[in-house]
Amino acid sequence: MLSRRSLLAGLAAGLVAVAAPAVAWAATWVVLGSRTVNLLYDHDTIRVGAGAGLYTDIRIVVTGNTVFLHDLHITFSNGTSYDVPIRFLFLPGTASRVINLPGAARHIRRVEMTYNKLLGGGTAVVTLQGRKL
């Protein structure tokens, strides 16, 4: 016969085993596209395409140089769009907040970025990541 303590320990271990994959899934980000942006300009586009899958959240990761990102204009496969004001100074190696996409999981066609020009130019790599449904 199992003691009460053994039964509770077994239940706790079972719950941890069930919750561990959910935690690992929550932290999984997929690269949807990347763009080396020339900071002599003020806008660029990352094309994704519907074949990449359905996504519920996105985020931006910047490497290479500092970028002040103003806005994102996300266009979905069905032609609708979603504007996201970012207004954040990305230092190299930083990521944006998690951006929840409206409605159910969506196919993303492209993401247009508006950012500040950098006196003297330079480049930065802007990577778009998505979290699948």
Look up the pTM and report it.
Answer: 0.76
Which overall architecture, per CATH, does domain 30-132 show? Sandwich (2.60)
Q: Which pLDDT belongs to residue 51?
A: 77
User: In the block, which residue shows the tokens 């950098």?
Assistant: 118
What is the SS3 assignment for 21? Answer: helix
Angle at 101 between CA 127 and CA 63, to 5 degrees: 15
Q: What secondary structure letter does DSSP report for 50? A: G
pLDDT tens digits in sequence order for the chain, 133 residues long:
556 555 444 544 444 444 444 444 455 899 999 999 998 889 999 999 767 889 999 999 999 999 999 999 999 999 999 999 999 999 999 999 999 999 888 999 999 999 998 777 789 999 999 998 7
Residue type at 114? T
How far is 130 from 133, CA to CA, in rounded Å?
Answer: 10
In the chain, domain spans: 30-132
What is the H or E stretch that residue 4 is in?
helix 4-26
Instruction: Report yes or no: 124 and 41 within 8 Å, Cβ to Cβ.
Output: no
CA dihedral (50, 55, 56, 58) in degrees, to 10, reads -100
Kind and range of the H or E run holding 81: strand 81-90
The closest alpha carbon to 113, from 90, 80, 94, belongs to 90
Q: Which residues of 28-47 are buried (b: 16+ CB within 10 A; e: fewer)?
A: ebeebbebebebeeeeeebe
